[in-house]
């Protein structure tokens, strides 16, 4: 008897860029759409799904705020990262002469100049794939949508123009969450990322002291995010990504200093650095 196919979940409508990332990463998996990030993460926690592919940040639009609020609430582990190029496509029904275009507000902003060049009225919708679906269901020949090529295929829309975004190189970083950690075996010749969550002690220069171990051990912090922990206005939580494997001796020394100056430290995961980082 064969094992059940891998089940991977994402947030959004079928055809969303998260859906495209799932297909790129796991082409043979059973891929399911979820209405919210919370629902996607919970399905993995409950064992209904194996993995959740979740966007963390975009080179143009910045971080996905909701994810930073959800990560501390989940018991899942980060097992990989993925960088997905975003190719916005202008699409419409066959024979259409669009006067307006629908999409997620961020997509509309990323295509602002091209929208003006085409003389289109911008209309905001909940997400990109949802806008494509709405257009297909409406049958409106005056409308257009900005979404992925996959969305055009799923909803039988014609692509009027690919790479409709104003700035090339638009890319989204995704994290892959699983119930159990699966850090790669440490190899000093390879590049890794370790993600940590911590909150510092209430002492002067606590953050400076907590992060000092990374500097003295020659480690590169490639990301640091701070946000309130939801309890008091005087307490902050920090998310950092370090370009190092957890088992590297230098990382172990830095972790000792971090733990000393922090109330709590949570290891989220260690995983290979994506090739995109070397471009």
CB 154 within 8 A of CB 31: no
18-57 pLDDT, tens per residue?
Answer: 999 999 999 999 999 999 999 999 999 999 999 999 999 9
pLDDT, mean of residues 128-138: 97
Res. 84: pLDDT tops 90: yes
Average the pLDDT over 74-95 and give the result.
96
Q: Give the pLDDT score at 233.
A: 55
Region 222-243: mean pLDDT is: 80
pLDDT of residue 230: 58
**Residues with a known catalytic role:** 172, 174
User: For residue 1, what pLDDT band results from cuts at 50, 70 and 90?
Assistant: very low
Task: Sheet containing 262-272: give its strands across.
Answer: 221-228, 236-242, 192-200, 262-272
Taking residues 96-102, report their average pLDDT: 98
pLDDT of residue 2: 46
- Top CATH class of 7-86+170-178 equals alpha beta
**In the numeric block, which tokens belong to residue 133?**
């679906």
Report the share of the chain in percent with pLDDT over 70: 96
* Model confidence at 122: pLDDT above 50: yes
**7-86+170-178 and 192-272 share one fold:** no
| More confident position, 209 or 66 | 209
| Torsion angle of the four alpha carbons 55, 58, 61, 67, in this order, in degrees rounded to the nearest 10 | 30
For the chain, domain boundaries: 7-86+170-178, 89-161, 192-272
**The CATH number, out of the four listed (3.30.2320.80, 1.10.3720.10, 3.40.50.150, 3.30.70.260), of the domain defined by the range 192-272:** 3.30.70.260
Q: Which two tokens stand for residue 57?
A: 């940040």
- In angstroms, the Cα distances linking 156 to 93, 94, 159 are 8, 9, 10
């Amino acid at each position: 008897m064969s094992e059940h196919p891998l089940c991977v979940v994402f947030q959004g409508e079928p055809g969303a860029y998260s859906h495209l990332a799932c297909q790129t990463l796991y082409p043979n998996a059973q891929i399911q759409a979820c209405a919210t990030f919370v629902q996607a993460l919970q399905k993995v926690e409950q064992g209904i799904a194996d993995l959740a592919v979740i966007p963390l940040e975009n080179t143009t639009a910045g971080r996905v705020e909701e994810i930073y609020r959800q990560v501390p609430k989940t018991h899942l582990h980060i097992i990989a990262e993925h960088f997905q190029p975003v190719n916005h496509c202008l699409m419409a029904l066959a024979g259409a002469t669009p006067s307006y275009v629908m999409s997620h507000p961020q997509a509309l902003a990323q295509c602002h100049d091209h929208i003006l060049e085409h003389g289109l009225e911008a209309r905001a919708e909940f997400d990109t794939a949802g806008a494509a679906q709405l257009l297909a269901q409406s049958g409106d020949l005056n409308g257009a949508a900005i979404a992925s090529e996959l969305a055009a295929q799923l909803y039988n829309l014609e692509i009027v123009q690919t790479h409709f975004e104003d700035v090339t190189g638009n890319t989204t970083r995704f994290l892959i969450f699983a119930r159990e950690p699966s850090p790669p075996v440490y190899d000093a010749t390879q590049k890794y990322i370790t993600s940590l969550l911590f909150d510092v002690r209430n002492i002067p220069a606590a953050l400076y002291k907590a992060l000092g171990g990374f500097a003295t051990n020659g480690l590169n912090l490639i990301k640091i995010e701070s946000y309130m922990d939801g309890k008091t206005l005087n307490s902050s939580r920090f998310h950092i990504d370090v370009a190092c494997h957890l088992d590297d001796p230098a990382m172990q020394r830095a972790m000792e200093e971090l733990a000393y100056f922090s109330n709590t430290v949570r290891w989220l995961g260690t995983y290979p650095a994506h090739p995109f980082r070397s471009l």
